[in-house]
Amino acid sequence: MNIFKKLYCRIYQGVFRLLLPVLPYREPKILNSYKELAGLLVASNKHNVLLVTDKGITNLGLPNELINTLKSVNLGVVVYDNTVANPTTDNVEEASSLFHHTECDCLIAFGGGSAMDCAKAVGARVARPNKTLSQMKGILKVGKKIPLLIAIPTTAGTGSETTLASVITDSKTRHKYAINDFPLIPSYALLDEKLTVGLPKHITSTTGMDALTHAIEAYIGRSTTKQTRACALKASKLIFENLFAAYTDGNNLTARKNMLIASNLAGVAFTKSYVGYVHAIAHSLGGKYNIAHGLANAIILPYMLKKYGKCIYKKLWQMGVYAGLFNKSTSKEVGAKIFIEKIEEMNSQMNIGTTISEININDIPTLAKTAQDEANPLYPVPKLFTAKELEEVYLEVKNGN
Ligand SMILES: [Fe+2]
């Protein structure tokens, strides 16, 4: 990358870093039980909840206990469960009109990233009835308080309960875009490990590796704060200690709880400190070949960490020492390598492959350009790469090394 482009990226990131303390980031307060949630809604003078979820979740009966608890204190519950994976503008419009027609006054997002995205966008539409979703595309276009939003994640990985983003797909054009604004950050999150016990093994592993990628990319980036570093360190330690246990025994409630906590902490870390090239590449592969987000991240992560090379040895060493992978007497270089090997070992133990064969060699230049456009100048990556340099990572991810 030429010096002027590099300078532009670093100045752009520097401005955001300076603004960080004054931007209205907040974290969802953590709730520990449905009873506590019901009490909170009553105390907040709420009467009717719109619960946004999907059919897979309602068919399993996962929200039943919550619904019964809410009804036991005379709260009304309206369920919207038509949300699809990659929620659409039709989903949001349908759920928003249900919110109005049934006179709801608050929202619960119950599910994985899709339910969260849909509920946040419903909040935006309710707050801004005269603005279409596409008019709110981009950054800071909502600008108004949304109805009380409580997030209940049913997977441990996306960290979406902590973020200000809602990703929506236009039903007609299939164009996928993000609405990013501070009011979309849920006010509360309820972490209930029981909801995650039935997750298929490959969802447990790949969403868990997504959370690990959030923690690592936030930590090695150049816009960290004391708080985001602490969150990323705790999250990665919890993931190294609990993900494989949650994967091998889905009923291990302690491991499941710790993974929810880790996902949440990693979410807090990357909301303020961003992700990096791993995510940018994963998004390009998700868009082109529909490769699941967590799976793509898990496979790309070790390749990209090696590509960064020396400049992240110290940070990976710090993460490894904190996680107990080795002690302080290990050299920075050796520690960083052990750290990357640990990621590869986890992938292998959880039957996550080492390559993505779907990548078509002819697509690589366009994919690399897409990833570079996403990452630069926004992501404060430890080292800047050109699209041409990123092409090498795509080749490695395709063929292995
Ligand atoms: Fe992610």
List, for residues 192-219, the tens digit of each pLDDT value. 999 999 999 999 999 999 999 999 999 9
Confidence of residue 331 (pLDDT cuts 50, 70, 90): very high
pLDDT at position 163 is 95
In the predicted structure, residue 375 carries a pLDDT above the cut 90: yes
| Domain 3-21+201-399, CATH | 1.20.1090.10
Edge-to-edge order in the sheet of strand 148-153: 29-31, 188-190, 148-153, 106-111, 48-52, 76-80
pLDDT at position 101 is 98
Confidence of residue 306 (pLDDT cuts 50, 70, 90): very high
In the predicted structure, residue 151 carries a pLDDT above the cut 90: yes
Spacing, Cα 213 to ligand 1 middle (Å): 7
- 372 within 8 A of 386, measured Cβ to Cβ: yes
Spacing, Cα 94 to ligand 1 middle (Å): 27
What 8-state DSSP symbol labels residue 44?
T
Q: Does 292 or 78 have the greater pLDDT score?
A: 78
How far is the C-alpha of 174 from the C-alpha of 246, rounded, in Å?
35
Tokens describing residue 359: 């990548």
In the predicted structure, residue 188 carries a pLDDT above the cut 90: yes
pLDDT at position 173 is 86
* 3-state secondary structure labels for all residues of 92-109: HHHHHHHHHHCCCCEEEE
In the predicted structure, residue 138 carries a pLDDT above the cut 90: no
Spacing, Cα 129 to ligand 1 middle (Å): 30
CB contact burial 120-142 (16+ within 10 A = b; e otherwise): bbbbbbbbbeeeebeebeeeebb
Which CATH class name applies to 33-190?
alpha beta
Spacing, Cα 374 to ligand 1 middle (Å): 14
Over range 262-272, report the average pLDDT: 96
pLDDT tens-digit map of 126-135:
999 999 999 9
* Domain span(s) for CATH 3.40.50.1970 in the chain: 33-190
Give the environment of ion ligand 1: residues with CB less than 5 A: 210
In the predicted structure, residue 145 carries a pLDDT above the cut 90: yes
DSSP readout, 94-163?
HHHHHHHHTT--EEEEEESHHHHHHHHHHHHHHH-TTS-TGGG-EES---SPPSEEEEEESSSS--GGG-
- 174 within 8 A of 227, measured Cβ to Cβ: no
φ and ψ at residue 355, rounded to 5 degrees: -140, 165
Spacing, Cα 160 to ligand 1 middle (Å): 9
What 8-state DSSP symbol labels residue 28?
P
Spacing, Cα 157 to ligand 1 middle (Å): 7
Spacing, Cα 329 to ligand 1 middle (Å): 33
* Domain span(s) for CATH 1.20.1090.10 in the chain: 3-21+201-399
Over range 361-367, report the average pLDDT: 96
pLDDT at position 2 is 86
pLDDT at position 178 is 87
Spacing, Cα 164 to ligand 1 middle (Å): 14
- 256 within 8 A of 156, measured Cβ to Cβ: yes
- 245 within 8 A of 332, measured Cβ to Cβ: no
Spacing, Cα 325 to ligand 1 middle (Å): 24
How far is the C-alpha of 374 from the C-alpha of 110, rounded, in Å?
29
Spacing, Cα 102 to ligand 1 middle (Å): 34
pLDDT tens-digit map of 98-129:
999 999 999 999 999 999 999 999 999 999 99
pLDDT at position 22 is 85
pLDDT at position 154 is 96
Q: What is the mean pLDDT of the chain?
A: 95
What 8-state DSSP symbol labels residue 194?
G
Over range 250-260, report the average pLDDT: 97
In the predicted structure, residue 185 carries a pLDDT above the cut 90: yes
Length of the chain: 401
